[in-house]
């Protein structure tokens, strides 16, 4: 996984390098400020800089003067270098820089493929007890008021929640859970008092009497071992 993650970053960096080289050469061939436009393309994220270059920079120059070969804009009637009237605007040939543009596109495609491979590897990887140790994939957790719910596509870690008993309330904890494979259990701890509830295949809520615990905080530990498609729901009152 680390190798594929590293390849993603390598190809992204290569894409930026090729994009910078192409921009510099293309801007230079058109008589533009190559350094400025290269910085714009590289530093402005999400390809917005490249879009600006195409819409503003590259579009401001359309060809070369037929007399002196200087770069001119499409709206020019006279060449700003030789001063001659422009009848025909020769197109700018940029075949020399296409290889960098091709390398840029190839690097982007390879980075996307590596990223997709990374996701596939994470999803389809080992389902043993050590699967992605200490990691949850596609976890959704809601923790609102007296409700605590957790669902994961694949997980092999412990989730924690603390509740507090004051004046005998809450009196009961209701929990249920299930998973397609692996195991799922809830551990309730307060000092030396420990209670474990198996939730691997619990279709109905289990009612837990909290009167056996003292006033104060108790810790809930949702322990998943190589669990896939796990779902846990709880509330207290």
User: For every residue of 149-174, which 3-state class applies, written as one string?
Assistant: EEEEEEECCEEEEEEEEECCECCEEE
Average of per-residue pLDDT across 93-115: 83
pLDDT tier, 130 (very low <50, low <70, confident <90, very high otherwise) = very low
CATH for the stretch 136-236: 2.60.120.380
Per-residue pLDDT of 190-210, as tens digits, reads 999 999 999 988 889 999 999
pLDDT at position 73 is 61
pLDDT at position 131 is 43
Q: Which residues of 179-193 are buried (b: 16+ CB within 10 A; e: fewer)?
A: beebbbbbebbbeee
Q: Which of 16-20, 28-32, 55-59 has the highest mean pLDDT?
A: 16-20
Rounded distance between C-alpha atoms, residue 202 and residue 146, angstroms: 20
pLDDT at position 75 is 59
DSSP state of 56: I
pLDDT tier, 125 (very low <50, low <70, confident <90, very high otherwise) = low
Average of per-residue pLDDT across 44-69: 77
pLDDT at position 118 is 81
What region, left, alpha or beta, does residue 158 occupy, with left being phi > 0 and alpha being psi -120 to 50 degrees?
A: beta
> 165 forms bridges with which residues in the sheet?
216
pLDDT tier, 136 (very low <50, low <70, confident <90, very high otherwise) = confident
pLDDT tier, 129 (very low <50, low <70, confident <90, very high otherwise) = very low
pLDDT at position 95 is 56
> 89 forms bridges with which residues in the sheet?
65
> 163 forms bridges with which residues in the sheet?
218
Residues 6+ apart with CB under 8 A from 139: 150, 151, 152, 153, 155
Closest CA to 234 of 213, 214, 208, 201: 208
Where do the H-state alpha helices sit in the chain? 2-29, 34-43, 48-52, 98-124
Give ranges for CATH 2.60.120.380 in the chain. 136-236
Tokens of 121: 């590897």
pLDDT surpassing 60 at residue 162: yes
pLDDT at position 231 is 94
> What whole-number percentage of the chain has pLDDT above 70?
78
């Amino acid at each position: 996984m680390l190798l594929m993650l590293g390849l993603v970053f390598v190809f992204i960096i290569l894409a930026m390098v090729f994009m910078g080289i192409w921009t510099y050469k293309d801007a230079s061939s058109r008589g533009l400020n190559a350094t400025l436009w290269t910085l714009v393309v590289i530093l402005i994220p999400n390809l917005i800089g490249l879009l600006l270059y195409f819409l503003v920079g590259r579009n401001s120059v359309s060809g070369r003067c037929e007399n002196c070969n200087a770069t001119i804009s499409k709206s020019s009637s006279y060449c700003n270098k030789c001063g001659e009237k422009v009848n025909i605007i020769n197109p700018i040939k940029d075949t020399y820089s296409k290889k960098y543009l091709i390398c840029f596109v190839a690097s982007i495609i390879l980075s996307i493929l590596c990223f997709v491979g990374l996701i596939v590897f994470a999803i389809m990887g080992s389902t043993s007890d050590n699967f992605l140790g200490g990691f949850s994939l596609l976890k959704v957790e809601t923790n609102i008021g007296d409700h605590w719910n957790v669902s994961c596509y694949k997980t092999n870690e412990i989730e924690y929640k603390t509740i507090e008993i004051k004046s005998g309330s809450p009196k009961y904890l209701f929990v249920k859970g299930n998973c397609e494979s692996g195991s799922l259990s809830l551990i309730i701890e307060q000092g030396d008092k420990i209670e474990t509830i198996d939730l691997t295949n619990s279709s109905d809520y289990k009612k837990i009497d909290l009167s056996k615990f003292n006033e104060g905080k108790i810790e809930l530990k949702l322990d998943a071992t190589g669990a896939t498609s796990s779902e846990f729901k709880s509330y207290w009152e």
